[in-house]
Amino acid sequence: MTHSADHLHVTTPGGSYEVVVAHGALDHLPERLRHAGIRGAAWIISDDQVFPRYAPALIERLRAAGYTAHGYAVPAGETSKDLSVVARLYDWLIGNSVERRDVVLALGGGVVGDLAGFVAATVLRGIALVHLPTTLLAMVDSAIGGKTGVNHPLGKNLIGAFHQPRLTLADTATLATLPPRELRAGWAEVIKHAVIRDADLFVHLEAIADPSALRGEALAAVIRRAARVKIDIVNSDERETGERMLLNYGHTLGHAIEAACGYGDLLHGEAVAIGMHLEALIAHRLGMVEAGFVERQQRLLRAYGLPTDLPPGMPVDDLIERTLRDKKVRAGRVRWALPQRIGAATVRDDVPETVVRAVLEKATEG
């Protein structure tokens, strides 16, 4: 894989595209679209917090470059990942004569990316998609790899499609306006990538005294490093048949916790951080990692402002039941991504429910 200072490349059967991470990247959107061979109308889908901040200037820039550009803002938050919102977006696109050569621009965080990606994958049986992530979490994780989807009352992301974007353009300047809690939540995915695949990145993260002070190229370099972990895994396993399941570390319990809380109470990254800690405890009980690993990971998560304790009142039976509805379940067996050491992880489908229950019961005690 070749890349310049700010470019990375995804190459899968479903599509090949650049991932650009740079300060001020959105300034060059029209040129990037042309370079990607996109000539049709641009349909910006964003949320009501991000849209007023960035969409008007983007629409103006696109129109000045000769593109037809439209915009739509959905309510911010996880509740927009719903089929009723998808239906409204179909009405908007089809009612305004969307064409097969057009492009959906997903401007926002993971919720917008998942939602807009699903709409792009399905309207007119699929049109081009470009991700314009504005959160740390989306830049290192959800805007890469082609997963799209919405939630179902019985679980997160259970309705969706694989639809690779034509480009992911991450402008790190947008992180300066991100609420501090959202920024902290994004570090969970960065730390996850370090744990499963990049021990040197983990050490680098430990050495950063104040992550909130990271700016400019120093921040972009960390994001590219974390994004490269995901890209390398996606390049080898686009459709999550093997290695890509490692990216679910922290997510099996994280998704269960998110759903049990009611989407929106905990941010996705916060739930993943709690899930990482609990799943590390499962790995420790199975003899896969030493207690020192659990403590070191917990120390780093906390240093980046992330929670590791279960919210009070979490019902253990409900959490276990939700893991059994996870998309990665095969023949009734939960497939867990579990750490082996800093920088390495594996997938296990032989984790006894008694071990999971013991970890959760101890966590709910205090």
**For 169-189, how does the pLDDT look when each residue is reduced to its tens digit (9 = 90+)?**
999 999 999 999 999 999 999
- Is residue 366's pLDDT more than 70? no
Domain ranges of the chain: 7-177, 180-365
Considering the chain, what percentage of its residues have pLDDT values greater than 90?
84
Catalytic residue among 147, 184, 225, 335: 147
Catalytic residue among 189, 238, 243, 270: 189
Catalytic residue among 244, 277, 322, 328: 244
The whole-number pLDDT of residue 7 equals: 74
Neighbour tally for 158: CB within 10 Å = 15
pLDDT tens by residue, 97-133 = 999 999 999 999 999 999 999 999 999 999 999 999 9
- Geometric angle at alpha carbon 156, from 159 and 149, rounded to 5°: 35
The DSSP element (H or E) to which 18 belongs, if any, is strand 15-22
Our answer to whether residue 268 is catalytic in this structure is: yes
DSSP helix/strand/coil, 218: helix
- Is residue 213's pLDDT more than 90? no
- Is residue 2's pLDDT more than 50? no
The whole-number pLDDT of residue 153 equals: 86
Phi then psi for 314, rounded to 5 degrees?
-70, 125
Q: How far apart are CA 124 and CA 122, in angstroms?
A: 6
Helix extents (H) in the chain: 29-35, 51-64, 83-95, 110-122, 136-137, 180-197, 199-207, 216-236, 251-261, 268-285, 291-303, 316-323, 353-365
Our answer to whether residue 284 is catalytic in this structure is: no
Q: Say whether pTM exceeds 0.95.
A: no
- Is residue 364's pLDDT more than 50? yes
* Lowest-confidence segment of 124-128, 193-197, 223-227, 322-326 by average pLDDT: 322-326
- Is residue 3's pLDDT more than 60? no
Neighbour tally for 136: CB within 10 Å = 29
The DSSP letter of residue 113 is H
Mean pLDDT value across the chain:
94
Residues in the chain: 366
Stretch 33-49: mean pLDDT, rounded?
97
- Is residue 78's pLDDT more than 90? no
Q: Which residues contact 48 (CB under 8 A, 6 or more apart)?
A: 73, 74, 75, 76
Our answer to whether residue 125 is catalytic in this structure is: yes
What the block records as the tokens of 206 is: 């430990």
Our answer to whether residue 182 is catalytic in this structure is: no
Question: Looking at the domain that runs over 7-177, which CATH code has it been given?
Answer: 3.40.50.1970
The whole-number pLDDT of residue 11 equals: 93
CATH level 2 (architecture), domain 180-365: Up-down Bundle (1.20)
What the block records as the tokens of 33 is: 């679209």
Catalytic residue among 23, 81, 163, 251: 251
Our answer to whether residue 244 is catalytic in this structure is: yes
- Is residue 334's pLDDT more than 80? yes
Q: How far apart are CA 105 and CA 108, in angstroms?
A: 9
pLDDT band at 209 (very low <50, low <70, confident <90, very high): confident
